[in-house]
């Protein structure tokens, strides 16, 4: 497996991206992307678990119910989420689908729609109409980076990645772009991800592989504990390589590579989180089950007290144990142990048997002052373990979100 840190959704064969500036974003930056495949695509998607969903989520779910085998395009806008916009919002999402299909000479049910941004605002459809025409006119095989920029909202960096899989029958590629900086929490986050592959993958397997990948990546990140209205991960497989990943080792290699790509994009989202200065891995071991470990890890990763301690470089381990304790998962406090570190060989044990160890406070503070470090809590209650990724909670996060609409 070869990793391409500059790869994007146009790295696999047969995919093009066009972009446009519609004037939705007050910054004047590009705000519309059109991702197009020259071949019909088997397609799968996973969406937000929030009960309040954007019109594009509703439309995409309905579209994939009737057509998951001949999808040709994704049209995405940023700046306005098209959520909580009533019947008119759904009409606007359908209009985006129709406009894109007209520009690409395909059926409307071959187009999926994504929107991200401010909730409760109607899309300026005249601007969207012109933007889609513009994007369709500049479709190109090198447009992936520009597409990643066009879907950004409060992101400061475009997020992109690609993986090349060498199989006995040949080479296939998986590419992806994503956006996300705030309202990021498992199941999923304010994030959009578009993933493409030139592999031949049946829809049933594509769905299973995507679910596995998302559960090990996007569902293990948290910035602020909020789940948004628009979260969507879509994968399009156009079979352009002519190489099947449907069975045996090829299928296993595809799922592994897809998980690698999704994990890389997920970590990029955390590192670019709103106001985030530190990337923190929270590892929980010694749990009775993976689910229990995940619940405890999320409780730590989303605790404002823990995250502000991260921001202040304060190794206040009492907050970490307290956050684990409020998770609702039963464990024996007297068996808990806690380590921190920036590297495995430099790890420092803070707690043993729920009691403070004789450690150097200055060294602990130095670890917490690093841009990347980890926290490892062992519950002493089983053999299951899991890692989740989060960041610190800073004054900058409050500033960004207090004037988001202004």
In 151-231, the DSSP E strands lie at 159-167, 170-180, 191-197, 221-222
Backbone dihedral region for residue 400 (phi beyond 0: left; psi -120 to 50: alpha; all else: beta): alpha
Phi, psi angles (nearest 5°) of residue 303: -70, 120
Length of the chain: 406
Active site residues: 190
Residue holding tokens 């929030």?
50
Q: From CA 403, how far away is CA 95, in angstroms rounded? A: 30
CB atoms inside a 10 Å sphere around CB 219? 23
Euclidean distance between CA atoms 232 and 209, whole angstroms: 16
Taking alpha carbons only, the member of 238, 258, 172, 194 closest to residue 14 is 238
Alpha carbons 197 and 161: distance in angstroms, whole number: 12
Within 13 Å and on the Cβ side, how many CA atoms surround 297?
31
The alpha-helical segments, DSSP class H, found in 6-81 are 55-66
Measured CA to CA, the distance from residue 293 to residue 188 in angstroms comes to 18
> CA 168 → CA 173, 244, 245, 250, 387, distances in Å?
14, 11, 11, 9, 33
Give the helix, strand, coil percentages of the chain, each rounded to 5: 35, 30, 35
């Amino acid at each position: 497996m070869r990793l391409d840190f500059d790869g994007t959704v146009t790295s696999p064969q047969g995919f093009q991206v066009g972009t446009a500036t519609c004037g939705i974003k007050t910054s004047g930056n590009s705000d519309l992307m059109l991702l197009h495949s020259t071949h019909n695509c088997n397609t799968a998607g996973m969406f937000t678990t929030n009960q309040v969903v954007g019109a594009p989520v509703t439309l995409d779910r309905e579209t994939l119910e009737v057509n998951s085998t001949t999808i040709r395009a994704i049209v995405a806008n940023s700046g306005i989420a098209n959520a909580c916009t009533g019947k008119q919002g759904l009409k606007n999402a359908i209009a985006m689908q129709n406009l894109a299909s007209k520009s690409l000479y395909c059926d409307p049910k071959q187009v999926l729609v994504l929107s991200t941004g401010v909730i409760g605002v109607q899309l300026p459809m005249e601007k969207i109409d012109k933007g889609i025409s513009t994007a369709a006119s500049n479709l190109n095989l090198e447009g992936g980076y520009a597409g990643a920029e066009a879907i950004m909202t409060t992101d400061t960096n475009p997020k992109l990645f690609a993986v090349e899989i060498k199989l006995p029958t040949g080479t296939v590629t998986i590419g992806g772009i994503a956006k996300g900086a705030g309202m990021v929490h498992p199941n999923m986050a304010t994030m959009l991800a578009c993933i493409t592959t030139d592999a031949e993958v049946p829809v049933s397997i594509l769905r299973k592989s995507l679910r596995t990948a998302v559960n090990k990546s996007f569902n293990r990140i948290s910035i602020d504990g909020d789940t948004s209205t628009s979260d969507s991960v879509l994968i399009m497989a156009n079979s352009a390589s002519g190489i099947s990943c449907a069975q045996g080792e090829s299928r296993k290699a595809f799922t592994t590579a897809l998980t690698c790509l999704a994990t890389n994009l997920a970590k990029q989202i955390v590192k670019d989180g709103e106001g985030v200065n530190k990337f923190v891995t929270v590892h929980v071991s010694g749990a009775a089950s993976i689910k229990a470990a995940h619940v405890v890890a999320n409780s730590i990763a989303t605790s404002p007290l823990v995250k502000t301690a991260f921001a202040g470089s304060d190794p206040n381990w009492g907050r970490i144990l307290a956050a684990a304790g409020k998770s609702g998962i039963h464990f024996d406090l007297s068996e808990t142990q806690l380590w921190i570190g920036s590297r495995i060989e430099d790890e420092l044990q803070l707690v043993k048997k729920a009691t403070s160890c004789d450690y150097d406070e200055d060294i602990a503070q130095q670890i917490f002052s690093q841009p990347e470090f980890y926290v490892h809590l062992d519950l002493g209650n089983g053999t299951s373990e899991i890692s989740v990724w989060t960041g610190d909670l800073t004054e900058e996060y409050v500033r960004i979100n207090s004037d988001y609409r202004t």
